[in-house]
Amino acid sequence: MVKEMCYKLNKSSMLYKRLMSKHLERLNITYSQLMVLRVVNQEPGITAKEILMQMDTDKATLSGVLSRLEKNSYINRVKNVKDKRIQNIYISKGSEHLCNEVSVIEKACISDLVDGISLGEAEQFLQILDRFIENQVNKIEQKF
């Protein structure tokens, strides 16, 4: 039962990424990059460390995403003068619109996904999922 839950959670996650990727193709940016760009857009001058705390990814992964975002001129990184280890990250002029477009795309992706699922069911689903995730987090911390 739990096993089935895990498998299907994985499957659904994979399908979501596939779906978003297809839709994002035309914007010439990836799903991960866009998620990061959004955070930067909301909090100009944010540091990599702070993004990490918000996003629950890996620092090495984020480093790569950021460098690709910069390479493609979506962001700028400015060395902080007070602490030279830190870089403050800003969204490039003209890239803010991308973040708005994402919302549209996201809506297109997720519309229809709740067909046949009532609001009450969705709420209950989320509630159980929250508990499940909490257990997962505990389990991971427990072991190491």
Partner DNA sequence: TATAATTATTTTGTATACTAATTATAGGGG
Partner DNA sequence: CCCCTATAATTAGTATACAAAATAATTATA
The site for a copy of itself, by CB under 8 A, has a size of 52
Establish how many alpha carbons lie within 13 A of residue 69's alpha carbon, considering only the half-sphere containing its beta carbon.
29
Asked if 74 interacts with DNA (CB under 7 A), we say: no
Distance CA 123, CA 135 (A): 19
Minimal distance, residue 76 CB to a copy of itself, in Å:
27
Candidates 18-26, 96-104, 106-114, 116-124; binding stretch for DNA (CB under 7 A): 18-26
Asked if 33 interacts with DNA (CB under 7 A), we say: yes
Residues that bind a copy of itself (CB under 8 A): 1-6, 8-19, 22-23, 56, 106, 109-117, 119, 121-126, 128-133, 135-140, 143-144
